[in-house]
Every structure is written in C-alpha cells, then in structure tokens.
Structure 1
Amino acid sequence: MPSFSLAALTVLELAPPAMIDVAAACGYQQVGLRMLPAMPGGVAYPLMDNEAGLKETLARLDATGVTVADLEVVALRPETEIAAFSAFFETGARLGAKHILVADYDPDLSRFSDRYASFCEAAAPFGLTADLEFMPWTCAPDLATASSIVAQVGQPNAGVLVDALHFDRSRSSIDDLARIPAHFLHYWQMCDAPAERPATTEAMIDAARRERMFPGEGGIDLVALACAMPADITISLEVPTAELAKTMDAKARSQRALDAARNVIARSLDGADHRGSRDG
C-alpha cells in the first residue's frame, strides 16, 4: 500500500494540530496543510504568520509521527511576487513538508511559465517540489497543458499534480497520463464524483470545493487511474463533503475516506501486476 495523506479540504474546519490528531487516529501517514486560501477570503491556516500555532503543529507532528506531505494553495497570478513567499518556504521547511500545490491563474502561459520557473527555483533550497494542479477553470485546464508547462520550465522540482476529479472533468485520458514522465509525478489526489459531469463551470467549481464522493462510491474509474500512477507516491485524499459534515464529524469522514481509498488501491493491485514499472 502507498502512504496516504489527509488533505486539508476534507476537514477544512480543523486547524492543523487537530487535523494531525485526526489523521493519526485514523491511520494516515501524512497530512496536507492549507496555509494560503484557495480564493480570496477562503479558509486557511497561515502558520507562517502564527508562531504559536506553528509550534503547536510541530509538537503534534512530533508526538504522532505524522508528517507533512504538501502545502496549499499557491495561486500564481500576473501580479504575484515570488519574493513574497519567503516565510511560506521557510515554514514549509520547518514543517518538513515535501510538496507545494500550485495553480495557474495567468492567461499568458509564457509569462506564467517564467514565473513558475522562478517559483520552483525559490522553493528548491527548502526541499520543496512545486506541483502544478490542472483544473478545468484555471489557465492550466488539463493534463496536456500542465505537463507541457512542466516540461518547458525544466526545473527538477517541478511536477504535475493529478487530482482524480479534475482528471475526469477535464477529459484527460489514461493514455495521456501514460506519456507523462514518472519523475513529473510526486503525489496525487484521490476522490470520486458522479459519472455525469456538471453542466456549468460554476457547478463544477462548487462541486470540487464542497461536494465530492468517497473513493469507489462514484463514477470515476479510480482503479484504472491508480494503475496508471507510480505505485510509490503519496495519495492525498481530498474529499470535501459539506452536507455530510453537518451530521458526521471530521474523524468519521476521514476514516471513511481512508478505508474507501485502501479498497480502491487493493483492487488496483489485484488487477495490475505492472504497477510501479514506469520509467523515470
């Protein structure tokens, strides 16, 4: 079994120390921390600006043995200044984080690529990868665009982040994924969703941020996706369920996500002896 990380969006009501305790109690090896909001005014826990909160988070990591997989969310826009992320990088290094989730909100792909390359260079001394998550409503809407950008910048810590939901909604394909160099893939995100795609971009965004399904309970072919991914990279379970959260606590939802993901991976292992055989 690969290692599993509890994504921030699954339990966004929990501050990092409480989230770490839930992850440990359920059997996750890692967590992802949302230190920057996904959108202006969104929920985030900026530990780089909260020394007491950072120390408490470090103490919970030390006590539980849970580690930090990734930090969220860096939205690179035309006006973004890379120098503004110094404290973010330094805090990530203190937390022992491995990856940063990056999103493209610059319609000029040449300008974005230059800024993304600079971001990768700035993150590298702190031991952090910069993983470009393609999402249909961003300026990197699909796997082909994201992988082309990562190839173009040529930074060793640049990567493509595959989220099962966005992979499906962007109509990216397993054949596309098979052509991606394995060293572009540092971790990936698992969830499920109805087979029928939302009719509007607004509905797609709302579903992505608020209402997903637990792995194996929807219409995405997660077994095929798992078979196509490198076997030894972390799987982040990103399953926001806003309605269910009204009646089911964070620990119960986190446990349900983990149990469901383990079942998907077990099924993929049963039918894919070739998993993990990709070349780097």
Structure 2
Amino acid sequence: MPYQYSLAHLTVLSCPPPELAYVAARAGYDYISPRLIYMGLPGEPNYALAENGEMLRATKRALASTGIKVHDIELARITDDLYPSKYLPAMEVAAELGAKSVLSSIWTPNLEYATEKFAKVCDLAAQFGLTVDLEYVPIAAVNNLAGAVKVLREVNRPNAGLMIDMHHFHRALDTPEDLDALPREWFHFAHLCDAQGQIPTDRAEMIRILREERLYAGEGGIDIAAILRHVPVPVLSIELPHLARVKELGTAEHAFRCIEAAKAYTAAHGLSAPFTKLEKVA
C-alpha cells in the first residue's frame, strides 16, 4: 500500500492555513498538518484559527474545494507552568476540521511534572477523538527514543502515540531495531526529511539546520529507509523547512519537490505503508 502524505506547516510556514491547503492539493498531498497552536517564536506567524474566525472559514472553504484533509495539528508543547486546558480551543478546531492527531513535545527537565501534564493533554484530546503523538527533539528536554518511551509507558493512555522524525532520530543516534519492541498502536505517522549526515556539535547550528535547512529525501546522509522499515505508519508528514529554497523556488515549487523526492525515494527503496485503516481514535 502506498504511503499517504501530509504537508507539515514548517515546510512552508509563510503560508496561512487556507493557502497551505491549496499548495498541498496542487502538489499532490493527501493531508496538511497546520500549526494551529501559536508558540510565539521570533518571526512566527499566528495561525491560531480558534482566535480568527475569518481565517477558519477560509480554511474550511479551501479544504472543501480541494478535498485535502487535516491530519494533525501542532504544537502542544509541555513547558513549565503549563495549563493543559490552554490547548482546548485548538483541539476543538482540530476536531471540527476532521484532524486525527495533536503533535506534542516536552521542553521542561522536570519529567515527573511533564509526564503529568502530557497525560492531561491526552485526556483532553481523547474527548475529541484525537491522538497525542509525542515527538522527541534533539534540543528539547526529551531528546531521544528512550526518554520518549519512558514518558509514554508511564502515561499509559490509549490515545498516546510516538512520532518519529527522521532528522531527530538520526541526531539522537537512535537505532531503528529498537523500534520493533514498541507497541504498534503507538505509531500513527512520521515526519519525513533528510539532512546532512554529519551531526552538528554546536547547538546553534543544530537549531539552524532543523528549522531552516533540511534536505529532500535521498539528498542527505540519513538512512531514511532503515528507519522507515521499523516505523509502521500509513502517513508521512513532510516537515522539510529550507528557507533558501523557498526564497528561490517559492512555496508551491518547494512543496512539490518535497513530495516528488519522497515518492521517488520510497519507490526506489521498496518502502510501503502497512495495511492500517486511517481512522480516528474512538
């Protein structure tokens, strides 16, 4: 079964959600993964649709006219002094748009606190039929597979999942075979991109690459095929920010090259999705 593809917002973050849907449709994606939770990062646009009724209506029109669906929304970060209920408006919009998942990551070193808050986010999302998929990030507090697995086992929520990002997995020096021992129901989707094989030792350079200069599948030094063979997911969300290429090519062409490279790579390596129904969690 061929993979289905979602266009992650960070790939073309300058596109508001309606435009994201149109760009994704023209390029041949099945889904979009919009950033509906504003994080307040420098230069980050605010696409919190729960606070912008006009943009929400435009997004609905774009989805209806293109047939594109929303796969997941981001990013429900677990930080210090977090009130999980702050994510409720975004969850409500996500459910209204037919999304399946909420992406989350942990940024506080207080892991007991983080586990408690992550569990609460899961409980809030469950009422909307949404999974909460934990992504570990090399610059975050939970920054490798072992740390993410520890949180998920302690949380023990039926709608909690594990989201593997090719870049982060490679930077964490994790081993693909270690994924085989994990519950299959944890896996709902993965982030696809490539990057330079050499891992930066400088934190600022690590951040720059992960936010500004990831590469098309097969262009870098990550053994994506080795990872995907151990990640039983039906959907690949392409998160591939490359600011210089977007400036040179435009958002639509960059998004198109992302999915074309992904399809060529998976075909060349004989990769396919598992026979899994793409349904929301009951």
Q: TM-score, normalised by structure 2?
A: 0.93
Cα displacement (A) at 1:210: 0.8
Task: State the 4+ residue runs in structure 1 displaced beyond 3 angstroms.
Answer: 37-41, 275-278
The answer to whether the Cα contact below 8 Å between 1:227 and 1:269 also exists between their aligned partners in 2 is no
Q: Is the 8 A contact 1:35 1:47 kept in 2?
A: yes
Partners of 2:127 and 2:268 lie apart in 1 by 39
In structure 2, the residue matched to 1:134 is 136
| Equivalent runs, 1:38-53 vs 2, <5 Å | 38=39, 40-41=41-42, 42-53=44-55
Cα gap change, 1:209/1:44 in structure 2, threshold over 3 Å: closer, same or farther? farther
Question: What amino acid sits opposite 1:29 in the alignment?
Answer: D
Over 3 Å counting, the alpha-carbon distance change for 1:185 and 1:44 in structure 2 is farther
Give structure 2 stretches of 5+ with no counterpart: 277-282
TM-score by length of structure 1 reads 0.94
State whether residues 37 and 90 of structure 2, in contact with CA within 8 Å, keep that contact through their aligned partners in structure 1: no
**Residue 20 of structure 1 pairs with residue 21 of structure 2:** yes
Letter of the 2:235 partner, please give it: T
Alignment of 1:221-236 (within 5 A): 221-230=223-232, 232-236=233-237
Spell out, residue by residue over 1:96-116, the C-alpha distance to the aligned partner (whole angstroms, 9 max, x if none): 111111110111111111110
Identity %: 32
CA-atom RMSD in angstroms: 1.6
Say whether 1:266 aligns with 2:252.
Answer: no
Q: Does residue 1:169 correspond to 2:171, yes or no? A: yes
Task: Specify the alignment match of 1:118 in structure 2.
Answer: 120
Match of 2:254 in 1: 253
Checking the alignment, whether the CA contact within 8 Å between 2:131 and 2:159 is kept in structure 1 is yes
* Secondary structure of residue in 2 paired with 1:97: coil
- Taking the aligned partners of 1:32 and 1:38, their CA distance within structure 2 comes to 15
Q: Please give the alpha-carbon distance, in whole angstroms, between the structure 1 residues aligned to 2:257 and 2:274.
A: 26
Aligned residues: 274
Q: Residue 6 of structure 2 aligns with which residue?
A: 5
Alignment of 1:96-107 (within 5 A): 96-107=98-109
Q: Aligned runs of 1:160-199 on 2, under 5 Å?
A: 160-199=162-201
Inter-partner Cα distance in structure 2 for 1:86 and 1:36: 10
Question: Residue by residue, what CA displacement relative to the aligned partner does 1:35-72 show, whole Å, maximum 9, x if unpaired?
Answer: 12455343331101001110110111111110001111
Change (3 A) 1:200 1:125: same
CA distance in 1: counterparts of 2:210 and 2:168, whole angstroms: 8
Question: What are the Cα deviations for residues 215-256 of structure 1, in whole angstroms up to 9, with x where unaligned?
Answer: 1100000111121111x5210001111111121011111111
Structure 1 stretches lacking a partner, 5+ long? none
Q: Name the residue aligned to 2:151.
A: 149
Query: How far 1:206 moved relative to its partner?
Result: 1.3
